């Protein structure tokens, strides 16, 4: 048993509350369980209980064993001086306050049902893909849907915090921050880190100073470390020459080429292809974030991010190596949707939140509801359990549920887990 289970039991009063007695046989009535505290200090603030004929207001501390009070050194911490009730599963030691008076203690050992404890133990010990894999089909649709709606917003809030941290590092420069996230997600999972490093290492302001595609491509290929080889190719040599000029002019330093990964990547996702697409996008769309703020629907966003490589890459995937077939390498709808979900929507949400413009926050949620569900191994697994995602808001929520609840076995913090435990 873990202490958070006892927090859960106390918070929702999932124990026999009739004829409660302290370990000193004084009658207890729980008027208010208090506010759950997840930070340092007592577990529940501002509780209200009646012991005998006296009503006490104060904090409540919860432990597996009463002796944990001493093990956690609470006797030396002044923030525990206002504890009016010590709730324990097992009372193995009398605990005294600073005035040497016994702290009123409630023992739960014989008050919590064996069935509830067995359910919790089952979920915590489960080796299945999700702990409640064999019980989730018994949970009603309303509980699941309302929980997923909440998780979608929770995921957005968490992404907003990450963006705000990057924004602070960039001295409140929205364009540069947006640009970094755009690069990161253009690289997909495999090359997210080097693409992010490339954007950090190459200010968007430098790209905006040039209106020729060859200059922007030279800037990014050079900064990515791709122009340091001896390749006898006219296009390559032209990029190399242009980059040497830019490098000296702006005192640039390329990132380490070894960061890039090609293994098991489809050629269309090679960083050489993605860099040309990005260069073309930035050449055609300046002040991109400002334009994103003004879009009105998903189709308008899709149109904004439609781009392709320069002519050289129609016949190549790597420098100096001709491809077997010629093809126009456009940014596909799958990547555009990923950019909308992971970049555009979170930025609309956090900008609206920071500027107190609810319309932008509502627009972000509207976009999520109007993009089709993501398709990946996690969403496929949920479908096997008859939890179907019909749009991006639900698929984002399911990713949040799996990664930040199920995989960490936070069943006690999950509305679905709560429903199963309390059925």
pLDDT at 211 over 90: no
Report the chain's C-alpha Rg in angstroms: 29
Element (H, E) at 85: strand 83-90
pLDDT at 286 over 90: no
Q: Please give the average per-residue pLDDT across 335-339, as a whole number.
A: 94
Q: Please give the average per-residue pLDDT across 214-229, as a whole number.
A: 97
Q: Please give the average per-residue pLDDT across 407-412, as a whole number.
A: 95
pLDDT at 186 over 90: yes
The dihedral built from the CA positions of residue 257, 260, 264 and 270, taken in this order, carries a sign that is negative
pLDDT tier for residue 170 given thresholds of 50, 70 and 90: very high
Cα 167 to Cα 170: distance, rounded to the nearest angstrom = 5
What pLDDT is recorded for position 1? 83
For residue 340, give every residue at least 6 positions away whose Cβ sits within 8 Å of its Cβ, in sequence order, or none. Answer: 298, 301, 302, 305, 367, 371, 392
pLDDT at 201 over 90: yes
- Number of helices (H), then strands (E), in the chain: 18, 9
- CA-to-CA separations, 364 to 105, 186, 230, 242, 296, in angstroms, rounded: 49, 20, 47, 40, 10
Cβ–Cβ < 8 Å for 309, 194: no
pLDDT at 263 over 90: no
Q: Coil, helix or strand for 21?
A: strand
pLDDT at 415 over 90: yes
To which residue do tokens 């320069």 refer? 310
Task: Sort residue 55 into left (φ over 0), alpha (ψ -120 to 50) or beta.
Answer: beta
Give the global pTM.
0.85
Condensed to tens digits (0 to 9), the pLDDT of residues 301-332 reads: 999 999 999 999 999 999 999 998 999 999 99
Cross-strand bridge partners of residue 27: 21
pLDDT at 235 over 90: yes
What pLDDT is recorded for position 409? 94
Cα 36 to Cα 356: distance, rounded to the nearest angstrom = 29
For residue 59, give every residue at least 6 positions away whose Cβ sits within 8 Å of its Cβ, in sequence order, or none. Answer: 34, 41, 42, 43, 44, 45, 46, 47, 80, 82, 83, 84
pLDDT at 348 over 90: yes
Residue of higher predicted confidence among 99 and 139: 139
For residue 405, give every residue at least 6 positions away whose Cβ sits within 8 Å of its Cβ, in sequence order, or none. Answer: 151, 411, 413, 414, 417
What pLDDT is recorded for position 353? 93
Condensed to tens digits (0 to 9), the pLDDT of residues 66-84 reads: 999 999 999 999 999 999 9
Cα 192 to Cα 195: distance, rounded to the nearest angstrom = 5
What pLDDT is recorded for position 135? 93
Cross-strand bridge partners of residue 122: none
Distance of CA 30 to the CA centre of its chain: 37
């Amino acid at each position: 048993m873990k202490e958070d289970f006892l927090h859960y039991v106390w918070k929702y009063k999932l124990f026999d509350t009739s004829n409660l007695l302290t370990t000193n046989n004084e009658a207890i009535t729980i008027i208010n369980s208090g506010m759950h505290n997840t930070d340092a200090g007592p577990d529940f603030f501002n509780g209200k209980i009646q012991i005998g004929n006296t009503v006490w207001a104060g904090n409540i501390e919860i432990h597996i064993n009463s002796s944990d009070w001493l093990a956690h050194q609470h006797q030396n911490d002044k923030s525990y001086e206002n504890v009016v009730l010590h709730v324990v599963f097992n009372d193995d030691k009398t605990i005294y306050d600073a005035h040497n008076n016994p702290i009123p203690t409630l023992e739960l050992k014989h008050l919590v049902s064996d069935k509830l404890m067995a359910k919790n133990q089952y979920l915590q010990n489960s080796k299945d893909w999700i702990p409640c894999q064999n019980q989730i089909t018994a949970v009603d649709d309303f509980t699941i849907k309302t929980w997923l709606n909440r998780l979608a917003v929770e995921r957005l809030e968490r992404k907003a915090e990450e963006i705000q941290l990057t924004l602070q590092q960039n001295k409140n420069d929205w364009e540069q921050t947006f640009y970094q996230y755009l690069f990161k997600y253009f690289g997909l999972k495999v090359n997210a880190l080097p693409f992010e490093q490339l954007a950090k290492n190459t200010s968007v302001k430098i790209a905006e100073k040039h209106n020729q595609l060859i200059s922007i491509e030279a800037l990014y290929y050079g900064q990515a470390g791709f122009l340091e080889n001896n390749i006898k190719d006219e296009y390559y040599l032209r990029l190399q020459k242009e980059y040497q000029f830019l490098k000296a002019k702006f005192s640039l330093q390329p990132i380490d080429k070894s960061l890039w990964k090609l293994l098991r990547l489809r050629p269309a996702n090679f960083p050489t292809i993605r860099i040309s697409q990005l260069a073309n996008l930035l050449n055609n769309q300046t002040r991109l974030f400002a334009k994103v703020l003004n879009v009105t629907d998903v189709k308008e966003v899709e149109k904004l991010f439609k781009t392709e490589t320069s002519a050289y890459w129609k016949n190549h995937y790597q420098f100096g190596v001709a491809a077997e077939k010629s093809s126009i390498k456009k940014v596909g709808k799958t990547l555009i949707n990923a950019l909308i979900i992971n970049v555009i929507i979170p930025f609309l949400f956090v900008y609206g939140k920071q500027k107190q413009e609810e319309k932008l926050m509502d627009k972000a949620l509207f976009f999520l509801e109007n993009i089709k569900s993501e398709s990946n191994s996690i969403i496929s697994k949920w479908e096997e359990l008859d939890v179907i995602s019909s749009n991006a808001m639900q698929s984002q929520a399911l990713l949040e549920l799996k990664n930040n609840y199920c995989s960490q076995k936070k069943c006690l913090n999950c509305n679905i887990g709560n429903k199963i435990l309390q059925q």
